[in-house]
Amino acid sequence: MKSKIYALLTVFMLAFTFSTPIAALANDKNAKTIEVSKEEAAREINAMKRRVAEIKAMDKSTMTKAERKALRKELREMNKRARALGSGGVYLSVGAIIIIILVLILIL
């Protein structure tokens, strides 16, 4: 009886674990794929870093509200672009972590 409960629990968790990333991809209609070489990505990131340093060095007290808003928008866009260029990590959902913990408990 106990093994049936663990099996059902595992199936239940797997159902939520694997459906979440697929649903996230389906909902992201504005996602754009970025295919650039590592050298181009490094050059682009260095250019972004220089621009961020310029923005930090600016005297923002003399700017108008619209100019500051434009700077914030530019920084957000650069942040999104940098994350897209630098992505490549492994992401684990909460369900996957719970399943891993349960498997470790069962094994040990």
90 phi-psi bin (left φ>0, alpha ψ -120 to 50, beta other): beta
* pLDDT confidence band for 27 (50 / 70 / 90): low
The pLDDT tens digits for 52-106 are: 999 999 988 999 999 999 999 999 999 888 887 776 666 778 888 888 898 888 8
User: Three-state DSSP class for 91?
Assistant: coil
* Other beta carbons within 10 Å of 14: 13
Return the number of other C-beta atoms located less than 10 Å from residue 69's C-beta: 11
- The residue that leads in pLDDT, 107 or 23, is 107
